[in-house]
Structure 1
């Protein structure tokens, strides 16, 4: 049996007990404290968790988020953890919270016992504002930034974190396979979007990201959904993630409306799928992240050149003409988990325990060959661009309004990697079987 077809596995969600969930965050806190031999660690709660890239460190260590909280971790104290809270926090912290709490007003006196503090440097003003604009750190001699230490710890997921992500992936898979079956002429993107939201709600979870884009909309990388009715012989790009106990999935699949890929859609889909498989094969411990991205790009360019869509496979601007986004990012507490921090590191390498996506895509909007795209201005002359479009124009028109993206969530293991979303169909024949 094809590995992408046992859909029954998608609904087998492993139960996570309250105690196990508490132990996960207790372990997260202890791992952090083991890296600090003196002083106290302060972690403020996050104002708005709904924004991508918002600080999830409090959530990672406490297991919940509530406004008006500061978590104090004392590596060598009799009490390892104290949660300082204001009146607003009292109403929003979980009823089953087992952490010792003290009024936020006592934090200033508490800090008089310490000469060294570890905290997120970029949030000092936010902490002071929370305390009524009092600079409680003015007499502290030694303040260190704890953020890089937490981020490095969060890069490698524990077995318990991976289990939570896998549960999110299973729910996502169920929602997607139900949506696939409804990809019919006349259905609207909104209809399908609502179906995926319903499937998530049935499991009492929320979506972290949702894209349902058909036809010309499928060529817009960041499109969400609309009331547009889908037409026969179009592709529809799904990009969906759900939060399960704070941890998210992020899966993309491309399906043909009415269940049958056209010849041209198969050609583009095959190029993207082959590139994705190349990328996944390179996601191994200590392997170069940048090399994986380069090899994926090379595979896409090779396919485009063979289809007559490029005149020079070494041209940087022609590569940028087609390659509109990166291919890999972390997932965890965020859809793009601590992405900027890792992305800016020199000599980036995959490490054991990482859960990273692999998501190449190709998009063919109708107007992309009419004039120089904004992202290429200054990189190519009008004369060069016009000559390029004259040579590839006839071939490009075959693929107008086709968008394809394929995304899986990959765990880096000691032996190599494991595709956590392998059961969600992506082979052409499997996709066509589902819809038909």
Structure 2
């Protein structure tokens, strides 16, 4: 590790700003390639957006989450009474341009291209996680048993079953199509009066019982291997006089030849002052845990109610109920309406216990309108790199994205062509 001539702190090859799943994975991959790395965040690793998801390493999610195209669906959402999507009316003018582009990118042709562009990352998600899980000794947090998409309406289930068979055949995925009896056998605690139509059990994904602990475990591995973790405010990043980057801390300035912005929803606070008008929006989401009991056991697998847009996931803390998408202004207070609606539906078929927390957790998914992350060199600043915008799949894609960026930064051959993720597409 080099020593800076103008600071009492060591100088590094790379600063990675953000200790969520994306930043921590990036730091590990750079470290594996021989770079001295400092991982910087103002809070503990994995305690932000990476903490609050449904715990899915989603190998089966080969089609990005798109904007509805059907006029009937658009009319239904316009009433703002759905569980899977809720919006704050006064947020829409500020988001109108982003939403318009998201809608256009969700048309069949662009969506198919987005799926093909994302496939190399999705295909590597389990194997890249597995390498870190084994190295960090975190096998106790992970199950290779998949998750179940459940359906209450026969017509929706029939359509989903046909789609699942087509996707499984096209992409080599494993999926069990479960009628109501088979679904009840696989999840015996489903309430018998619920009259579920059926479910799709996606077998390739892995699930995590504590996403926050997983990221913390990856950060611990990074530190055991000689990496440095510092708590500091990443917003002080600026170019230094030697052509690299520096970051102010209470103990002095950190110096590095390269810097990576991996701050998820907070990335605009760094890239906008540098002159980058990248279209990164936030989809807010919530979770709340419910106490299991002998009469209310956790599900054997995460259960996703696609129509209502929520997941019931067995976690260390209890049964986690996660919500779909809320579109709101950054300073909007917590809104429990989606959780209330989701809980009401979930209790119709699952014996949820009492809520554990008095207040729900709220997080922000960083999303681009073309449904691809930004994994790229900063076009106008040598030595600056971007790794953010992973939307609903930050946990899924963290290690694969970290590997791709590390290959780019060190000049290695990349496992896939990085052009679809370049920041240039927005400039």
TM band (smaller chain):
under 0.3
Compare CA radii of gyration and give the structure with the larger one.
Answer: 1
TM-score w.r.t. structure 2 length? 0.21
Greater strand share, structure number? 2
